[in-house]
Amino acid sequence: MPLSNADRLESEALRGAAQPTLRAVSPGAEGHLYVPHPVLDHGMVRLIDYMGDDAAIVQAARVSYGRGTKSVQDDAGLIRYLMRHWHSTPFEMCEIKLHVKLPVFVARQWIRHRTANVNEYSARYSILDREFYIPAPEHLAAQSKVNNQGRGEVLGAEEAARVLDILKGDAMRAYDHYEAMISQDGQQGLARELARMNLPANIYTQWYWKVDLHNLFHFLQLRADAHAQYEIRVYAECIARVVKDWVPAAFAAWEDYRLGGVTVSAKGVACLKRMLAGEAVTQETSGMSKGEWREFMGVWGG
| pLDDT of amino acid 97 | 98
| pLDDT of amino acid 141 | 87
Using a 10 angstrom Cβ sphere, with 0-12 exposed, 13-18 middle and 19 or more buried, the burial of residue 220 is buried
Residues 165, 166, 167: CA angle, nearest 5 degrees = 95
Q: Are residues 165 and 241 in the same domain?
A: no
Range of the domain at 296: 266-300
How do residues 136-150 score in pLDDT, each as one tens digit? 999 988 887 776 677
Q: Are residues 178 and 122 in the same domain?
A: no
> CA of 57: how far to CAs of 66, 117, 214, 218, in Å?
14, 21, 10, 17
Q: Are residues 187 and 244 in the same domain?
A: no
How do residues 151-201 score in pLDDT, each as one tens digit? 778 889 999 999 999 999 999 999 999 999 998 776 788 999 999 999 999
Q: Are residues 231 and 93 in the same domain?
A: yes
Q: Are residues 115 and 142 in the same domain?
A: no
Tell me the HSE value of 172 on the side-chain side, using a 13 A CA sphere. Answer: 7
CA 301 to CA 76: how far, in whole Å? 32
Q: Are residues 18 and 81 in the same domain?
A: yes
| pLDDT of amino acid 66 | 59
* 223 assigned to active site: yes
> Mean pLDDT in each 10-residue stretch from start to end of the chain (302 residues)?
69 78 89 95 96 93 66 77 94 97 96 94 90 93 75 86 95 95 82 93 96 97 92 97 97 93 91 93 92 90 70
Q: Are residues 182 and 288 in the same domain?
A: no
Catalytic annotation, pick one of 46, 80, 196, 223: 223
Q: Are residues 95 and 35 in the same domain?
A: yes
| pLDDT of amino acid 302 | 61
| pLDDT of amino acid 3 | 64
| pLDDT of amino acid 261 | 86
| pLDDT of amino acid 39 | 96
Number of folded domains that form the chain: 3
